Amino acid sequence: MAIKKDISKKKEIPVEDLTTCEATQQMLVKARLDGVETQFDRAKSMKACPIGGDSACCKHCAMGPCRLNSKDPYGKVGVCGANIDTIQARNFARMVAAGTACHNDHGMAMLNIFKEVVNGEIDDYAIQDIGKLESVAQSIGIETEGRSIKEIGLELYDALEKTYTGVEGEIPFAQRVPEKTLELWRKYNLVPRGAMREIMEMMSRTHMGVDQDYNNIMQQISRTALVDGWGGSMVATEIGDIMFGTPSPVPIEVNMGVLKEDKVNIIIHGHEPNLFESMLASVQEPTLVEAAKAAGATGINLVGMCCSGLEVLSRHGVPHAGNFSSTEPILVTGAVDAMAVDIQCIQQGLVKVAECYKTPLITTNPRCNIEGATHIELHEDDPKACTDEIVIKAISRYKSRKMPVQIPKNVNFGVHGFSHEYINYMLGGSFRASYTPLNDNIINGRIRGVAGVVGCTNPRVQQDSVHVTLVKELIKNDVLVVQTGCSQIALAKAGLTTPEAAHLAGPGLKEVCETVGMPPVLGLGACVDNTRILIACSEMVKTGGLGESISDLPVAGCAPEYMSEKALAIGQYFVASGVFTAFGVTFPITKGTKFEKLMFEGLEEMGLGKWGFSPDPLELANMMIAHIDKKRKALGIDKARDRVLMDMADRRDIDAA
Ligand code: XCC
Ligand code: SF4
């Protein structure tokens, strides 16, 4: 037995290879000493299934499951005769449907709360950004002049409800899509109806014996994804802003060092902002603050993780403790007195780790219970009943903290909370807010293009490192980077979301950043807030000078460490909107097939965007930059950039002389 143990110890991967996040490294070392298992250990012992990885298997009926050979993809078909292209297209379709369902489910929940707030049935939340309410209403043709908040709000609710329930016609935010892009969608029948309809149709078409032409399945994949980006996710962002405020830049702190040994530490993890917003009220409740002090703490410390954390980091500057892969390791500090979660990316492994450190793990949403966790349901008409109880649980855990606490000292700073409204204002100034300066700087070549780098972390690759290497390479090449999701926290921990990080940018981007005082990497919020990027793209097209369609823009997207089906849905809506989007880690298709060709070439030939893939960050950067340059050339602005760079070089020569 002892020998066996030695062997397993020898095989242990150094924590530095698992993650570049130092705090997470420290906690992984401690976890090993404490005998606690995390996703990093499970990823090592659970080899990814190679057939599933290539999407060459189908379990859509009981004649199967059928496994095809991805080395010889056309050598075999399933029992029903389904070929590799049908099988992969259906698998991809269902992943996109699941991701789209998640974002729409979240958006619909927000919209329901909004309705009850407007109706006066919920008073723990409010309409905080009336300007945003009006601008969103106007963007879909709702009259706002001389009308009350309630009138506008109810009409907005009725209109946006169609995002989910629309049986026919086009979703409301299709009105925000640039004309030429929308025309193309109409030509291919891609403009979504309501999400319920699109997801239902996607599930039905991918049942055994229904849609068996990968091209036709792809049409519904795009339409389904578009009702995520321009539908449910966009509603989640806009309603979130209306109720909780539109973000504007705030200085923030990230990393595990935001936990405080002498305070009652509460972490909120998940996605919907309502839990966190109510928790913000609870931790300020004087009686609860007193109770924390009576328990010997100096106060209550509320911090976020994952997208829940990003919602309030952007809006209120609440500290953020880390991204997805750090959610288990942070419990290893022993300093977390409660972790409250709602929906999405809450890995079941948390239960065991929480148990080891006697941290209450509390689920709050009826759609997400976890075996072994404590469920305290949050009801929107009285959310504080739930969040107060969580605080009380945390205080009593603080009081009975038994084991020694070990909090990594790491704290990093950044400026986050950008929004498309703020980009408008920041570059244009308050009197001439517009996208013209951004477009001008792209046209004159100081900014080569814009890249969205987003998405998860994944223990199949070294946590954070792919994000950071990729983004550094992009900004070095004058590509302005916008970010959402867990990726943003990777970059914040690496110090790239500060204005000072401009020195890492190429000469053109550096000049723009220094003039405006902005970071070269802009954090735009949670994953639903990728829709801020869609709107920014839309504005860039409408402002002029960069083509007529989103597909004309010198922009690209990437999720280099993705893991979730939501990320695939996001990727697909960017592709269908006209953006080249590259993913890392692995891509769920079989190489050398017609479906691969459609995804990586065919969609672009139709005038949409296309997919790209590489596990290597520098290769990803090169692909994105090459795409941006291709678009610059097509726009005839490639020469301008040569001039700017020559100017810079000339200037340096002069300086040197
Ligand atoms: Fe989840 Fe949104 Fe991915 Fe992070 S980035 S791991 S989806 S928390 Ni959305
Ligand atoms: Fe096999 Fe066809 Fe059934 Fe899929 S649908 S499991 S390929 S028989």
Confidence of residue 281 (pLDDT cuts 50, 70, 90): very high
Residues 602-628, mean pLDDT to the nearest whole number: 98
455 lines ligand 1 (CB under 6 A): yes
Burial tier of 452 (Cβ tally within 10 Å: 0-12, 13-18, 19+): buried
Instruction: Give per-residue pLDDT as tens, 599-612.
Output: 999 999 999 999 99
pLDDT over 50 (residue 310) = yes
237: nearest Cα among 170, 171, 314, 178: 314
Q: Which atom of ligand 2 is nearest to the CA of 66?
A: 1
Instruction: Give per-residue pLDDT as tens, 189-221.
Output: 999 999 999 999 999 999 999 999 999 999 999
275 CA to centre of ligand 1 in angstroms: 17
Confidence of residue 465 (pLDDT cuts 50, 70, 90): very high
The pick from 59, 63, 67, 77 for probing ligand 2's pocket by mutation, whose C-beta has the most ligand atoms within 8 angstroms, reads 63
Residues 625-650, mean pLDDT to the nearest whole number: 84
pLDDT over 60 (residue 657) = no
Give pLDDT, residue 402: 84
Confidence of residue 8 (pLDDT cuts 50, 70, 90): very low
81 CA to centre of ligand 2 in angstroms: 8
Residues 364-369, mean pLDDT to the nearest whole number: 98
The pick from 267, 486, 528, 529 for probing ligand 1's pocket by mutation, whose C-beta has the most ligand atoms within 8 angstroms, reads 486
50 CA to centre of ligand 2 in angstroms: 18
CA distances from 229 to 108, 479, 594 (A): 14, 23, 26
pLDDT over 60 (residue 2) = no
**Cα 225 → chain centroid:** 15
Residue nearest to atom 3 of ligand 2 (CA): 61
471 CA to centre of ligand 1 in angstroms: 18
Q: Which atom of ligand 1 is nearest to the CA of 457?
A: 6
The pick from 87, 205, 211 for probing ligand 2's pocket by mutation, whose C-beta has the most ligand atoms within 8 angstroms, reads 87
How far apart (Å, rounded) are the C-alpha atoms in residues 314 and 527?
12
Q: Which atom of ligand 1 is nearest to the CA of 566?
A: 7
564 lines ligand 1 (CB under 6 A): yes
How far apart (Å, rounded) are the C-alpha atoms in residues 129 and 240?
10
Q: Which atom of ligand 1 is nearest to the CA of 271?
A: 2
485 CA to centre of ligand 1 in angstroms: 6
485 lines ligand 1 (CB under 6 A): yes
Lateral strand order in the sheet of 264-269 = 374-375, 361-363, 336-341, 264-269, 300-305, 320-322, 250-254, 412-416
Lateral strand order in the sheet of 449-453 = 521-523, 479-483, 449-453, 555-559, 580-583, 611-613
102 CA to centre of ligand 2 in angstroms: 26
pLDDT over 50 (residue 71) = yes
Ligand nearest to the CA of 344: 1
Which of 596 and 437 is assigned the larger pLDDT? Answer: 596
Mean pLDDT estimate for the chain: 95
Confidence of residue 248 (pLDDT cuts 50, 70, 90): very high
85 CA to centre of ligand 2 in angstroms: 13
Give pLDDT, residue 6: 46
pLDDT over 70 (residue 652) = no
C-beta separation of 188 from 219 below 8 A: yes
Residue nearest to atom 6 of ligand 1 (CA): 456
Give the containing element (helix H, strand E) for 337.
strand 336-341
Confidence of residue 434 (pLDDT cuts 50, 70, 90): confident
202 CA to centre of ligand 2 in angstroms: 17
Taken in order 364, 532, 227, 612, the sign of the CA dihedral is negative
Q: Which residues sit with their C-beta closer than 6 Å to ligand 2?
A: 58-61, 63-66, 78-80, 82, 87, 208
Q: Which atom of ligand 1 is nearest to the CA of 562?
A: 3
306 lines ligand 1 (CB under 6 A): yes
CA atoms within 13 A on the CB side of 552: 23
Q: Which residues share a beta bridge with 488?
A: none
How far apart (Å, rounded) are the C-alpha atoms in residues 268 and 304?
5
C-beta separation of 520 from 504 below 8 A: yes
pLDDT over 60 (residue 313) = yes
Q: Which atom of ligand 1 is nearest to the CA of 324?
A: 6
CA atoms within 13 A on the CB side of 116: 14
Residues 448-465, mean pLDDT to the nearest whole number: 98
The pick from 313, 345, 463 for probing ligand 1's pocket by mutation, whose C-beta has the most ligand atoms within 8 angstroms, reads 345
Q: Which atom of ligand 2 is nearest to the CA of 78?
A: 7
Flag the least confident range among 24-28, 426-430, 633-637: 426-430
Ligand nearest to the CA of 65: 2
484 CA to centre of ligand 1 in angstroms: 9
Residues 104-117, mean pLDDT to the nearest whole number: 97
Q: What secondary structure does DSSP assign to 8-48, as a single string?
A: HHHTPPPHHHHBS-HHHHHHHHHHHHHT---HHHHHHHSPP
Q: Which atom of ligand 1 is nearest to the CA of 310?
A: 2
Residues 583-610, mean pLDDT to the nearest whole number: 97
Kindly report the pTM of this predicted structure.
0.95
Q: Which atom of ligand 1 is nearest to the CA of 563?
A: 3
C-beta separation of 629 from 582 below 8 A: no
pLDDT over 50 (residue 32) = yes
Residue nearest to atom 1 of ligand 1 (CA): 345
Confidence of residue 4 (pLDDT cuts 50, 70, 90): very low
CA distances from 249 to 98, 127, 304, 414, 537 (A): 32, 20, 18, 10, 20
Give pLDDT, residue 37: 97
Residues 265-283, mean pLDDT to the nearest whole number: 97
278 CA to centre of ligand 1 in angstroms: 22
Residue nearest to atom 7 of ligand 2 (CA): 78
The pick from 94, 208, 210 for probing ligand 2's pocket by mutation, whose C-beta has the most ligand atoms within 8 angstroms, reads 208
Share of the chain above pLDDT 70, in %: 96
The pick from 346, 564, 565, 585 for probing ligand 1's pocket by mutation, whose C-beta has the most ligand atoms within 8 angstroms, reads 564
Task: List, in sequence order, the alpha helices (H) in 283-382.
Answer: 286-294, 306-316, 350-356
61 CA to centre of ligand 2 in angstroms: 5
Give pLDDT, residue 88: 98
Q: Which atom of ligand 2 is nearest to the CA of 61?
A: 3
94 CA to centre of ligand 2 in angstroms: 15
182 lines ligand 1 (CB under 6 A): no
pLDDT over 90 (residue 430) = no
pLDDT over 90 (residue 403) = no
Backbone angles phi, psi at 479, to 5 degrees: -95, 120
Q: Which atom of ligand 1 is nearest to the CA of 455?
A: 5
Instruction: Give per-residue pLDDT as tens, 318-331.
Output: 999 999 999 999 99
Give pLDDT, residue 426: 76
pLDDT over 80 (residue 647) = no
456 CA to centre of ligand 1 in angstroms: 5
Give pLDDT, residue 1: 36
Burial 297-331 (b: 16+ CB within 10 A, else e): beebbbbbbbbbbbbbbbbbbbbbbbbbbbbbbbb
CA distances from 103 to 91, 160, 530 (A): 19, 15, 11
Share of the chain above pLDDT 90, in %: 91
Instruction: Give per-residue pLDDT as tens, 335-352.
Output: 999 999 999 999 999 999
Q: Which atom of ligand 2 is nearest to the CA of 77?
A: 7
